[in-house]
Structure 1
């Protein structure tokens, strides 16, 4: 009845692995406006041709100052077609005394 087999895998990330979810695991990503996250992904190479699964990019994020974005390559499949894209999973502020 219904999708109980599929719903059995619908758990929060902390519950699925038995490990607690880390507070602040995404850094300041929640405070960054969407246009800056989109601009960061546009600076990365095309995901379909990139050899690295994870990349970093630095960007001036307006009121939040200089920010380092961390992105990972993801894949979506629909029938016989696959599409690769970048998903930003973390953002950290860059201090002015950090070496770039």
Structure 2
């Protein structure tokens, strides 16, 4: 049972990373505040769990969102975002207000 969930997590990671790597123009650095990112990670998690039902769907959604939060945290750390700005950046990156 671990192999399919690992494959889903690896596939999701590729879906999340590919658009980031495909960007060719750097983001403008005119503002110190972080710019909200569309909720693609949450939507991606919803899409990957769409075919599942019941507890399997809830479990996979939790795993997917945890991976998304981890990826967003790594991104915030790489960008050296700290404090309240980091919390806001992670919420914006994941695409949720934190209430799940």
TM-score by length of 1: 0.24
Higher helix share: 2
Higher strand share: 1
Name which structure has the greater RCO, CA cutoff 8 Å, separation 6+: 2
TM-score by length of 2: 0.24
